[in-house]
Amino acid sequence: MIVIHHNPDCGTSRNALASIRATGAEPVVIEYLKTGWTRGQLLGLFAAADITPREALRTSKSPAESLGLTDPAVTDDALLDAMVADPILANRPLVCTPKGVALCRPTVNVVTLLPAPPTGPVHDAKGAQIWPAP
């Protein structure tokens, strides 16, 4: 089973989803801005992806800076609390497959998680082909 924590308004997330579907797989799509996160979910996803809450913090096009969350003194616990309170603060897409879990930013990160290579090229959010390497 493949699961994508997805934001349909994000080009990178849309491209990761298209890449998954290009393998013939239909993933479970979780629109995390609608469903939100639990602390446990985030801890599990970040541990499986081998990233810290700080590495998963979305700093562009989010309120992270205005909330003071980009300050290095802010703890992981405080970052997790903020991500639970406002799901936009967690970067995306997070993709889970039997091969592992990864933050698929950039989009090409999704390719290593897929059960088979996509049948067509993978593009980034700006439309540039990133897989196979042009």
Q: Hey, which residues are catalytic here?
A: 10
Q: How far apart are the first and last CA of the chain?
A: 29
Cβ-based neighbours of 3, under 8 Å, separated by 6 or more: 27, 28, 30, 95, 96, 97
What tokens appear for 14 in the block?
């849309």
CA geometry: angle at 73 spanning 71 and 75, to 5°? 105
Q: Report the distance separating Cα 111 and Cα 93, nearest Å.
A: 13
